[in-house]
């Protein structure tokens, strides 16, 4: 599949057109950002690890019947994906209290949520991705009520599938962020990526953080953490 002109560049990925107007190539960069890109760095090898891990997770989800934009991994840094119209709403699933919800609501860190919490955030860097509710999404015409329920339903299914998979490999899925897109027929599919950039992943035995919090809070080498995730799920 030939890579043509760039159509979009984000913090962690670049999208390129291909000869097929329905398919893009996603290229994973080595850039790392945190706190609305106030903290930035280039970390060699990060893009390769995220592409590998995201490809593994997408393959698992596809096998379980979750509709995604993922087609296949093309190379160390590239995957082939279907073209989608991204819905500007980030869906966060929380199994355990960590990160912003602890600071925002004063909930003790490590408090389990049963059932898992589902939150919506406006995908808008200028507004710092504020938390929103279903009524906000409807009022802003970002998605229909049916689409909101579909995103929530898929997010919880993803949580069940990946939580079970990761637990078998000694990793706790604390929380994660998902983005969804619409295909030309209007169907909702999981898009963007699933990786230690978008998930909180803790070692079940030691509690070691194996995700981007290592970069956010200087908890250790980021590449080492991501490599541990890959090694564990390949055991």
Task: State pLDDT tens for residues 75-106.
Answer: 999 999 999 999 999 999 999 999 999 999 99
Looking at the structure, tell me whether residues 97 and 182 fall in a common domain.
yes
Asked whether residue 235 carries a pLDDT value surpassing 90, the answer given is no
pLDDT at 35: 83
Q: Where are the beta strands (DSSP E) in the chain?
A: 6-9, 13-17, 23-28, 31-34, 39-42, 70-73, 78-82, 85-96, 112-122, 131-132, 171-182, 188-191, 199-203
CA pair distance 46, 225, nearest whole angstrom: 11
Looking at the structure, tell me whether residues 113 and 32 fall in a common domain.
no
User: Does residue 20 form part of some domain?
Assistant: yes
Q: What is the CATH number of the domain that holds 23?
A: 3.30.200.20
For 180, the domain range is 85-221
Burial class (CB in 10 A: 0-12, 13-18, 19+), 51: buried
Instruction: Kindly report the pTM of this predicted structure.
Output: 0.96
Looking at the structure, tell me whether residues 169 and 211 fall in a common domain.
yes
Q: What is the CATH number of the domain that holds 189?
A: 3.30.470.20
Looking at the structure, tell me whether residues 141 and 35 fall in a common domain.
no
Task: State pLDDT tens for residues 109-155.
Answer: 999 999 999 999 999 989 999 999 999 999 999 999 999 999 999 99
**Angle at the Cα of 100 from the Cα atoms of 99 and 106, rounded to 5 degrees:** 100
Looking at the structure, tell me whether residues 102 and 216 fall in a common domain.
yes
Residue 14 CB coordination number (10 Å): 19
Q: What single-letter DSSP state applies at residue 103?
A: H
- Residue where a domain stops, chosen among 82, 112, 138: 82
Looking at the structure, tell me whether residues 78 and 116 fall in a common domain.
no
Looking at the structure, tell me whether residues 51 and 120 fall in a common domain.
no
- Residue where a domain stops, chosen among 53, 82, 111: 82
């Amino acid at each position: 599949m030939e890579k043509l002109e760039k159509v979009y560049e984000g913090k962690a990925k670049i999208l390129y057109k291909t000869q097929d107007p329905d398919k893009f190539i996603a290229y994973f960069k080595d850039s790392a950002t945190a706190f609305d890109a106030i903290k930035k760095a280039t970390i060699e090898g990060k893009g390769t690890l995220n592409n590998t891990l995201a490809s593994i997770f997408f393959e698992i989800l596809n096998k379980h019947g979750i509709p995604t934009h993922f087609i296949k991994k093309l190379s160390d840094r590239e995957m082939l994906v279907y073209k989608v119209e991204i819905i500007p709403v980030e869906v966060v699933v929380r199994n355990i209290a960590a990160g912003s919800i602890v600071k925002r609501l004063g909930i003790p860190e490590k408090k389990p949520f049963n059932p898992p919490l589902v939150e919506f955030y406006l995908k808008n860097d200028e507004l710092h991705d504020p938390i929103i509710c279903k009524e906000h999404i409807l009022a802003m015409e970002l998605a229909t009520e049916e689409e909101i329920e579909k995103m929530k339903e898929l997010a919880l299914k993803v949580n069940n599938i990946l939580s079970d998979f990761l637990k078998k490999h000694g990793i706790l899925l604390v929380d994660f962020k998902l983005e969804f897109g619409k295909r030309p027929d209007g169907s909702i599919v999981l898009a963007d990526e699933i990786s230690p950039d978008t998930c909180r992943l803790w070692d079940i035995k030691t509690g070691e953080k194996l995700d981007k919090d290592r970069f956010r809070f200087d908890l250790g080498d980021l590449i080492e953490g991501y490599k541990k995730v890959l090694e564990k799920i390949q055991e």
